[in-house]
Amino acid sequence: MKNLLAVSFVLAFAQAAHSADIEAGKQMAATVCAACHGANGVSVSDVAPHLAAQRAGYIEAQLKAYKEGTRKGQGTNAPAVLMNAVAAQLSAEDIANVAAWFAAQPGAAPGAKSALLANVVKTSVTFPEGYKDSFTKYHTINFPVLRQVRYYFANPVALAAAKAGKPLPDGSMIFIESYAAKLDADNKPVVGADGFYVADRLLQYSSMAREAGWGDDIPVLLRNENWNYAFFTPDKQRRTGVNQADCLACHKPLDKVSYLFTLKQLSDVK
Percent of the chain clearing pLDDT 90 (strictly above): 86
Average pLDDT taken over every residue of the chain: 92
Distance separating alpha carbons of residues 128 and 234, to the nearest angstrom: 13
pLDDT in tens, 125-178: 999 999 999 999 999 999 999 999 999 999 999 999 999 999 999 999 999 999
Say if residue 132 is exposed, middle or buried (CB neighbours under 10 Å; 0-12, 13-18, 19+): exposed
pLDDT of residue 237 exceeding 60, the answer is: yes
Domain boundaries, the chain: 2-115, 121-267
Closest by Cα among 169, 199, 167 to 183: 199
Q: Which CATH number fits domain 121-267: 3.30.70.260, 3.30.930.10, 3.50.70.20, 3.30.2270.10?
A: 3.50.70.20
CATH number of the structural domain 2-115: 1.10.760.10
pLDDT value at residue 75? 52
Kindly report the pTM of this predicted structure: 0.86
pLDDT in tens, 90-123: 999 999 999 999 999 999 999 999 999 999 999 9
Buried b (16+ CB within 10 A) or exposed e, 54-89: bebeebbebbbbbbeeebebeeeeeebbbbbbbbee
